[in-house]
Homo-oligomer: A and B are copies of this chain.
Amino acid sequence: MKIEDQLKTNNLPPARKLSLSILVTANLIDENVAAALKPFDISIQQFNVLRILRGQKGKPANLSTIQERMVSKMSNTTRLVDKLIAKELTERIVCEANRRKVEISITEKGLELLKEIDPKVDAVEKELIQDITEEEIEIVTNCLNKIRK
């Protein structure tokens, strides 16, 4: 659907058209992913932290590493991790080498939860982009790369 029709507006300058398209589409993706995660009682942010930790392949990550890799850089990653610890999906230990740091890792329970969730999120993403060809994906991601510098 054209962004102008969706937002009932017209004559958007190109820069605004593109930025609104990206924002509205991102919102749609968020809504759909959040809905898929809901049965598992986990938020998108929490899900992302779990995926980051899994990507560490056993190595624990400290808070600033997680924060760097998060889609949305919110300031209180501490409390986000607190939630995951309360659910026993992650663990936190104080780093021995540098006692300012903490080392956070995903638990077995966390890995199992991800294994359950992954196919659902994959399905949502595939469903959303079903009309986009692989070639188009390349073009679009390249353009978006340029926006993110």
Contacts and interface: CB of A to CB of B under 8 A. Distances in A.
Contacts of A94: none
A2 interface: yes
B146 A13 contact: no
Interface stretch (A16-24, A83-91, A102-110): A16-24
A15 B126 contact: yes
Given A9-B69, A21-B144, A24-B148, 11 more contacts: A1-B148, A3-B141, A3-B145, A16-B125, A19-B129, A20-B71, A22-B25, A28-B148, A31-B73, A129-B147, A139-B140
A127 B77 CA distance: 30
A29 interface: yes
Contacts of A20: 71
Contacts of A125: 15-16, 18-19
Contact of A144 (B22, B71, B134): B22
Interface residues of A, number: 53
Contacts of A71: 7, 20, 23-24, 27
Interface of A: 1-3, 6-9, 13-31, 33, 55, 68-69, 71-73, 122, 125-126, 128-129, 131-132, 134, 136-137, 139-141, 143-149
A1 B149 contact: yes
Contact of A9 (B8, B27, B55, B139): B55
Nearest to A14: B137
